[in-house]
Structure 1
Amino acid sequence: MPLHYPRAASARKFGRFLATRFLIAAAALLGASAAFAQASEFLVSTDWLEKNINDPKLRIIEVSVTPGVFERGHIPGAYNVAWHTDLVDPVRRDIATPQNFEKLLRQAGVSDGNTIVLYGDNNNWFAAWGAWVFDIYNVKNVKLLDGGRKKWEAENRPLAAVARTPVAGTIRIGATNNALRARLPDVVAAAEKKSNAVLVDIRSADEYSGKVFAPAGVQELSVRAGHVPGAANVPWGQAVAADGTFKSVDELRKLYAAAGVDGSKPVITYCRIGERSSHTWFALKKLLGYDVRNYDGSWTEYGNAVGVPVVNLAGTVWGGK
């Protein structure tokens, strides 16, 4: 049977048809890529970091809780930040001042336009705290190393014993974003149902119930045990997989929805001093996109405050010893 080639007009129509189909397919691919970029906007993998470790625009900062862990070995090129002196005001119960924070970042070699990767031990407890402080000061392009030191070391990736002294950066700190921070009156208002904020207590079940005042061996204590009335208890560790990485977005959404946290209302996270709750803040705010504030005063402030409502399921009472 002979082949029939389309006439010129038909050929043009057929060409437009193919072009339209191509544009639709391309848009779908771009949409998928955009969704992937959005989901990965605030996290980088260990594989990505090792491949990009020599990028001159990259700044790597370690924020660990265990003393000496950085000195025993760290990701090559990383700058060490001590959370209890560098990221807080050493006298007042507060985060670092804008002036001190800007000075710290410049010492770490940070300038506008850099990509900053934070990581640390304990599945990024204090690295997430660092991400929260960076967000308060509106520092851009800040990401967490998914899995932190735990995953990097488990995969036998390179560690350096000698720290480099970076060339001083030129970053300038702008306006403070206090909308990311909850204060004691905000939490009391939620406890007394005077606001619609949902409270998430990310401490252990024993801390939440009042069986213990705090984890064993810690210094920061309160004189009362228990939790804020109405708070849901979702221990921070439930948000991570066995390798220390965050669970998938779908898993996280189901985890918190089961506790009544679905993003339909603003959320306040808290723990004992604000570091574990910043990890949950990161999961809810950055990965799920919910409206979330971190209460860094947490139980050491609330449990020592006078006259605030407390639920103490275990009935443990401070003995003054």
Structure 2
Amino acid sequence: MTIFVSTDWLGAELGRDDLVILDASLFLPGTPRDPRAEFEAAHIPGAAFLDLPSLGDPDDPTPGMLPPDAMMTQRIQALGVHADSRIIVYDNSPAHSAARGWWMMRVYGLGRSVAILDGGLPKWVAEGRPVESGAATPAPGNAVARLDRTQVRTKADILANLDSGAAQLIDARGAARFTGAEAEPRPGMASGHIPGSRNIPSSAFFAADNSMKQGAELRRLFEEAGTDFDRPIITTCGSGVTAAIVLAGLETLGKTDVSLYDGSWSEWGFDTATPKATGPA
């Protein structure tokens, strides 16, 4: 299975016993929308609600950090995921949060394969495909989550990289947040970016029909931002959600030495001791 699957593909696979469809919708702070209520109003037939906004480490002060294995295992089994499941993740969010759900499935080693529904629920609905309403109650699965920390970067890793310069950082936040011209949505958080970062706003990765750009058009985004494809890349954003879009885009282009800074600016920007830069890259 590739990173992205089409609505045509999913339409033909609906109802297969080994297929698990997860709604990973999440909205950024200040967005007056309720992802669970929207799921219960309309979702792809057979889908379950991942509840990505609540799937974080309860003992970490930084919001949305990867949860302990036991918590992830409990959640994913309750959603009907088995060790041999084929997992499809989608969203109905301007943040394109399915990428975060996809990345989490991978770093915890879940399912036989995992992919993102290209275009998500907006494209599915625009094509007149079926939806259903109500809460989902799938039969429990048997998948066990084991986090592979080699795919995750920490604040200590980023501080070390400032000295070594071994990896290039790409920040997926909007340009105004990256430069510091726009205040962060979380009160008390510093503005700006990690020194040396490049900026590609996550919204730039998507076509008018909500699908991910591909091929030369996708590669051009990275080239115009000054991406060095010969170096490892660490993706970052506000809270580790849209950074997964950049990671998926790079892997689509064949770049595999890519990792994600889970704490992202939610951790870096709140720490008064970390260095911060403002202005363009």
TM-score (norm 2): 0.89
How far, CA to CA, are the matches of 1:291 and 1:222 in structure 2?
Answer: 34
Return the alpha-carbon distance in structure 2 between the equivalents of residues 194 and 269 of structure 1.
Answer: 17
Question: Separation in 1 of the partners of 2:23 and 2:122?
Answer: 13
**Structure 1: which amino acid aligns with 2:176?**
D
Indicate the RMSD between aligned Cα atoms, in angstroms: 1.9
CA distance in 2, matches of 1:221, 1:135: 32
CA distance in structure 2 between the aligned counterparts of 1:221 and 1:270, rounded to whole angstroms: 20
- The structural deviation recorded for 1:262 is 4.2
Q: 1:89 pairs with 34, 57, 60, which one?
A: 57
- In structure 2, give the amino acid aligned to 1:242: A
Q: 1:167 to 1:98 in 2, by over 3 A?
A: same
Shift of 1:164: 3.7
Deviations 1:196-253 (A, max 9, x none): 1101111111101101122xxx4x3453211111111111111111111111133222
Partner secondary structure for residue 150 of structure 1: helix
Larger radius of gyration: 1
Alpha-carbon distance between aligned partners in 1 of 2:204 and 2:122, rounded to the nearest angstrom: 16
Q: What is the percentage of aligned positions where both structures have the same residue?
A: 32
Matched, 1:71 2:45: no
2:49 and 2:136 in contact (8 A); partners too:
no
Residue in structure 1 matched with residue 153 of structure 2 by the alignment: 182
- Greater displacement, 71-80 / 281-290: 281-290
1:49 to 2:10 alignment: yes
Q: Mark the CA change 1:118 to 1:243 in structure 2 (over 3 Å): closer, same or farther.
A: same
Asked if the contact 2:95/2:242 (under 8 Å) is kept, the reply is: no
One of 142, 147, 151 as aligned partner of 2:123: 151
More helix by share: 1
Deviations 1:117-162 (A, max 9, x none): 0001225632111111111111230110001111111112111012
Q: How many residues align?
A: 268
| Among candidates 190, 210, 218, match of residue 224 of structure 1 | 190
Q: Hey, what does 2:20 align to over in structure 1?
A: 59
Cα deviation, residue 170, structure 1: 1.4
In structure 2, the partner of 1:3 is: none
- Measured in 1, the distance between the counterparts of 2:239 and 2:94 equals 17
**Aligned pairs (5 A) from 1:1-321:** 41-65=2-26, 66-67=33-34, 68-85=37-54, 87-92=55-60, 93=62, 94-122=65-93, 125-139=96-110, 140-174=112-146, 176-190=147-161, 192-214=162-184, 218=185, 220-313=186-279
Seen in structure 2, the aligned counterparts of structure 1 residues 285 and 179 have a Cα distance that, compared at 3 Å, is farther
**Aligned-pair CA distance for 1:60:** 0.5
Letter in 2 for 1:200: I
TM-score by length of 1: 0.78
CA–CA separation in structure 2 for the residues paired with 1:69 and 1:291:
36
Consecutive unaligned residues in structure 1, runs of 5 or more: 1-39, 315-321
For residue 286 of structure 1, report the CA deviation from its aligned partner.
4.7
Shift of 1:95: 1.3
C-alpha contact 1:46 1:152 (8 A) present in aligned 2: yes
Gaps of 5+ in 2: 27-32
Deviations 1:49-79 (A, max 9, x none): 1111011111101011241210110001000
